[in-house]
Amino acid sequence: MAGLKADFGHYTHAIVRGIPASLAENALRTHAGEEVDLAEAQREEEAYVEVLRAKLGLEVVELPADESLPDCVFVEDAAVVCGDTALITRTGAESRRRETEEMKAALKDLNLNLVEMTDENATLDGGDVLFTGQEFFVGLSKRTNQRGAEILADVFKDYAVSTVPVLEGLHLKGFCSMGGPGLIVIGSSEPAQKALKIMQQMSDHRYDKLTVPDDAAANCVYMNLPNKGHVLLHCTPEQYPESAKVFEKLKDYMLIPVSNLEKVKVDGALTCCSVLINKKANV
């Protein structure tokens, strides 16, 4: 187990997907709100992909947008990858289930061991799955149920899996994410802080926490890359000025603010837009 933590945050590949024009009108959203500027959303996505590819040197697999799947850019929900195993999920929103088809093909091309969630009583969105390098926390939310969490536990037997009720918001990672080995970034709202307490109580491990004022800003992407060290993709000062200041205190990190102004209108977060994979050589 000790060795598994040592490569926490190491990634070689990222799977992303284009934004269909249908996102603006038809993507699911938990509350009606502002209109999505499609061109701006597409620019944000291009900038995000550019960071992964050009700045961080990952091999990026770009899947085509599908107009019949307005939410397809949010690839994280379609698969949970840990080591060389990929669990193809059964998303909580029925309209999104076909998103797994392209994802499955891409993961197969990368020679990962695929397990498909076929139980019709199970639902699981990747946005509810927080892997800490030591264990999994699975949010029980509008989109993920107990049976989904049980199947995940069955697939990734090397790790403890604990469930956390998500009482507000869409997904567990809507208010928390990993900011490094043993560091949980958490929003400051009461539901977020309650969820953190539950995680701490259930775990045998001790985690440090980094609290940010805005729950949505707690969703960030941590990587530990050769020649780059600790990397964190996080909210921009334009979007969440107070939270951005908190990230700026992280010393010895390559901090990369990434704009997410448009996708957040349809519940999209930074982790949602990629599936990160650490592919060992010659696997």
Query: Which CATH number does the domain housing residue 26 bear?
Result: 3.75.10.10
Q: Is residue 57 one of the residues assigned to a domain?
A: yes
Residue 78: inside a domain, yes or no?
Answer: yes
Would residue 283 count as lying in a domain? no
Q: Any catalytic annotation for residue 272?
A: yes
Tell me the pLDDT of the chain (283 aa) as tens digits: 334 466 899 999 999 999 999 998 888 888 777 899 999 999 999 999 999 999 999 999 999 999 999 999 999 999 999 999 999 999 999 999 999 999 999 999 999 999 999 999 999 999 999 999 999 999 999 999 999 999 999 999 999 999 999 988 899 999 999 999 999 999 999 999 999 999 999 999 999 999 999 999 999 999 999 999 999 999 999 999 999 999 999 999 999 999 999 999 988 999 999 999 999 865 4
Tell me the pTM: 0.96
Q: Is residue 282 part of a domain?
A: no
37 within some domain: yes
> What is the rounded distance in angstroms from the CA atom of residue 49 to the CA atom of residue 77?
18
Domain count, the chain: 1
Catalytic position from the list 13, 72, 82, 171 = 171
What's the CA gap between 226 and 166, in Å, rounded? Answer: 35
User: Which residues, in sequence order, are CB contacts of 143 under 8 Å at separation 6+?
Assistant: 77, 91, 92, 93, 123, 124, 125, 127, 128, 170, 171
As a whole number of Å, the CA-based R_g of the chain is 17
Which phi and psi (to 5°) does residue 40 adopt?
Answer: -70, -40
Does some domain include residue 127? yes
Which candidate in 176, 220, 272, 273 is catalytic? 272
The domain of 200 spans: 2-277
**82 is a catalytic site residue:** no
Distance between CA atoms of 244 and 249, rounded to whole angstroms?
9
